[in-house]
Structure 1
């Protein structure tokens, strides 16, 4: 028989519960960590074939979690981040081209108010919201993370940053902020470490709050400039004497062995623009080996950072109730000789003051077995690793098929968090979410991503459509040309079937046209003359190279 005191205690508990906010009354909800790296190719980590690299923590996440064979991005930094942060196609979010203004709402270069960020929605649902790292979806202060829902934030605003500070505080070259205030990176400190340490510090602060958290951890590595810690570079000394021709084949074979590429499929045809490695002189080989050693060291250090993150979760006793998603914003960078800033070099490659880039030769390896590079609509440009880890829900060492995209992460996170996506926010009607939740995939209810609608791409005149096994591609330099690939049998995009299946080409062209109209996509060949004639606020044509990499004035 219940005592009077116990009965009163029950009544008090019920009364308190009735006065709590709705989110606080829900069962314990998971923390969500979204890890984004920059310019990492499909096979640039161990779980996807880079057995030449030491990535034990990513190996652990993949071994205890789920990998997707096909996960799509928007081929380049800012458009990918726009879709990732809002769940919208990039044009609908206002970043159709890059973080520059081409004079139209879909190309304004920063996130519009109609596209709600992950932080805005999750904060409204009772989550603490944290960002550490790269932003790149709005340069002006009213467009910064703190103004778009992030309660705690650290990082840099533009498209790239040095990893070391070489100047004094009053003339800092690495322009960082912390919660909207300028932050100085002390000399000798490495930016990847600072991004990690700030995130861990934020988690310590957040631990005092009785709420779940959302952490967006956006590393700039391994994006240029090639700069790494000497001890990390030393791990890879002589590792790449095999050369890019052999390593791309090795990565292809490893990807098959790892289960992320079908053994019946061929590797993409060799990029004929590249000189065979065995035709280089000894000095040339040493020159290029060092660049790959530094690039590998940068990825290695990100993996070390993930190890620190996992340790922090365990310390806070949150490791069994946290979802971690790891992705890249696009494939590895290549396509032309991108030695953009070598005249600015004040130190050897890998050190503070280096402005060297990886370039196409090794990038072809990073994207192996897929075709082409960052900035293009081919698989090597728009597809990269996807790893999801959540001990409570995800079955260990799962490899899933089907086409998933950046736009699917927002509905996934919202469903997992029990967050309601509002029809309006701060008096502004919100864009509807076009993606689909991947939660049934993560929890094992299904083993494949099946889409009712096709996926679409447009960036700088490059266009593509993916529906079922079919993929239509129209490259920017040949806007009247359409290529058709059967991705189920030819993910390397070696054989163009457009002439064989003209009816499929026409169907996908019509669907693209409908999507473009609905998302305010403009023919880039009509938009570009406006840019050149100065009828928009965009910088001069030389402000962004052909692949969309920001010029030096935007690098920090």
Structure 2
């Protein structure tokens, strides 16, 4: 009898094992996910997208072994981009329609609402460890911080910008940081980009003991102002920018064509008429501007070094073959003339701890080449930036696809790959429906672009855009703005306004925008416009500025 029972038990156990094997295998094969977000990086500001004068060997490796998209869209500026990225919602639906500033309506409250679930909250329900290092910028009050929105571990800063060096004291920190809800002091001489990487890798070491998949959100603030970098990194770029911004802009455009990121029939955007030609500058002026770009390049270089350390850590932990890495930027390179109030706080040369200098339109036009305009605009230079995806188990090497993808598409992508069901409600609150489409068909080669069945939309401080197929409708800024229409298949540089020749397209896209705006609680910005005098531009924490 005992023998019979043992045989019966063994058969039952075997049956149970066979029944659960697929589920166990699926759970074991779920990828780790690393989302790398950089700040104010233009379309051609890295090697894989045309900046061959920059040393980005690790991004080059990810691109050579992975996928690049010709068209990947963001929301043109920091906080709205992060709101969409973290929730899979258009930024108004998530509560950050304008910035991390409360303008008095739920869609413009300046922090993530609870109807919009974060990547960390959802992935955590599916058994993932959730880790973050870097810039938050979607909720200033403590109950809105990362650890309160699903992240098991967090290191970084809460606002929109930070010094890269500590030049104060522990009692009066000028680079206020947080680690798991507690104040953290950056030791003098330490560089913030390095510290972000150090903490991210430390989290991975700790997480390795948990024996479950992880999600790491690695949100570098580089190369956002202030322009501060390590001396050894700056030294690599001495003399590399004497060619000037005009020639380099053309060179990056040609490089992007050679790399397959820009179609050969596409033209470069018209030269910004407000910018001086490089050849008209004096020798001293050229030296001054070269130095600034050397620092900017050094900041990007150090991010690439951090990505190299990340790849080495994944290999050390034997997780490199089952990890998806996505690399994107929150917007295009920053325009402007560098005369913002906080730049007047500069107490040392550009690149040093005392520098509060910013990137300017002259080099930013090069950074966004061949696209038009800058950060915080609805033109391609403001809303389109690099996208690199690396996942050895799934993605074919050196793949380039059209894409026409958006931030809102990342959440459904991650949930599909992770095998995590997006909940209808979370902690008693009904969840907003996801707005995007999974990019898995793009990653696996089953599609060249996202088949979403509806246009993409943008609104930021009254500036509007609609992308539907080849057409893009724009309502720019200005006292009396007029609608502009571009055929991006023929003119991605947005040089030729076709609105007058295609009034029916303009009418159709305006109607689509109106319907989307009503659905997402978008209102007339002129009724909400904050008083400029009410914003603080001095604090490097960035909590109340427009960067």
Q: TM-score range by the shorter chain?
A: over 0.9
Indicate if the aligned counterparts of 1:237 and 1:293 stay in contact, CA closer than 8 A.
yes
Indicate if the aligned counterparts of 1:78 and 1:95 stay in contact, CA closer than 8 A.
yes
- Indicate the residue corresponding to 1:165 in structure 2: 166
- Indicate the residue corresponding to 2:357 in structure 1: 356
Please state how far the C-alpha of 1:353 moved relative to its aligned partner.
Answer: 1.3
Distance 1:215 1:143 in 2: 19
Distance 1:235 1:6 in 2: 71
Distance 1:321 1:542, change over 3 A: same
Indicate if the aligned counterparts of 2:375 and 2:382 stay in contact, CA closer than 8 A.
yes
Distance 2:60 2:514 in 1: 41
Distance 1:296 1:14, change over 3 A: farther
Please state how far the C-alpha of 1:210 moved relative to its aligned partner.
Answer: 1.7
Indicate if the aligned counterparts of 2:100 and 2:544 stay in contact, CA closer than 8 A.
no
Distance 1:501 1:240 in 2: 42
Indicate if the aligned counterparts of 1:101 and 1:108 stay in contact, CA closer than 8 A.
yes
Distance 1:246 1:6, change over 3 A: farther
Please state how far the C-alpha of 1:169 moved relative to its aligned partner.
Answer: 1.1
Distance 1:479 1:17 in 2: 69
- Indicate the residue corresponding to 1:153 in structure 2: 154
Structure 1 alignment gaps of length 5 or more: 533-538
Q: Helix, strand or coil: the match of 1:130?
A: strand
Please state how far the C-alpha of 1:554 moved relative to its aligned partner.
Answer: 5.8
Please state how far the C-alpha of 1:385 moved relative to its aligned partner.
Answer: 0.1
Distance 2:159 2:24 in 1: 34
- Indicate the residue corresponding to 1:316 in structure 2: 317
Q: Helix, strand or coil: the match of 2:143?
A: helix
Please state how far the C-alpha of 1:335 moved relative to its aligned partner.
Answer: 3.7
TM-score by structure 1 length? 0.94
- Please show how residues 208-223 of structure 1 align to structure 2 within 5 Å: 208-223=209-224
Deviates more, 1:213-222 or 1:436-445: 436-445
Distance 1:199 1:3, change over 3 A: farther
Distance 1:372 1:338, change over 3 A: farther
Distance 1:210 1:24 in 2: 14
- Please show how residues 448-467 of structure 1 align to structure 2 within 5 Å: 448-467=449-468
- Indicate the residue corresponding to 1:535 in structure 2: none
Distance 1:425 1:18 in 2: 30
- Indicate the residue corresponding to 1:511 in structure 2: 512
Structure 2 alignment gaps of length 5 or more: none
Indicate if the aligned counterparts of 1:23 and 1:125 stay in contact, CA closer than 8 A.
no
Distance 1:552 1:277 in 2: 35
Distance 1:6 1:364 in 2: 75
- Indicate the residue corresponding to 1:272 in structure 2: 273
Indicate if the aligned counterparts of 1:158 and 1:555 stay in contact, CA closer than 8 A.
no
Please state how far the C-alpha of 1:172 moved relative to its aligned partner.
Answer: 1.1
- Indicate the residue corresponding to 2:238 in structure 1: 237
1:60-110 alpha-carbon deviations (Å, 9 max, x no partner)? 000000000000000000000000000000000000000000000000000
- Indicate the residue corresponding to 2:429 in structure 1: 428
Deviates more, 1:444-453 or 1:78-87: 444-453
Please state how far the C-alpha of 1:358 moved relative to its aligned partner.
Answer: 1.4
Deviates more, 1:444-453 or 1:347-356: 444-453
RMSD: 2.3
Please state how far the C-alpha of 1:543 moved relative to its aligned partner.
Answer: 3.2
Please state how far the C-alpha of 1:340 moved relative to its aligned partner.
Answer: 3.5
Distance 1:436 1:208 in 2: 33
Q: Helix, strand or coil: the match of 2:133?
A: strand
1:245-279 alpha-carbon deviations (Å, 9 max, x no partner)? 11100010011011100110100000010011111
Q: Helix, strand or coil: the match of 2:363?
A: helix
Indicate if the aligned counterparts of 2:91 and 2:97 stay in contact, CA closer than 8 A.
yes
Distance 2:396 2:6 in 1: 45
Please state how far the C-alpha of 1:412 moved relative to its aligned partner.
Answer: 0.3
Distance 1:371 1:553, change over 3 A: closer
- Indicate the residue corresponding to 2:229 in structure 1: 228
Indicate if the aligned counterparts of 2:157 and 2:178 stay in contact, CA closer than 8 A.
yes
Find out whether 1:367 has 2:368 as its counterpart: yes
Indicate if the aligned counterparts of 1:161 and 1:555 stay in contact, CA closer than 8 A.
no
Distance 1:25 1:273, change over 3 A: closer
- Indicate the residue corresponding to 1:34 in structure 2: 35
- Indicate the residue corresponding to 2:187 in structure 1: 186
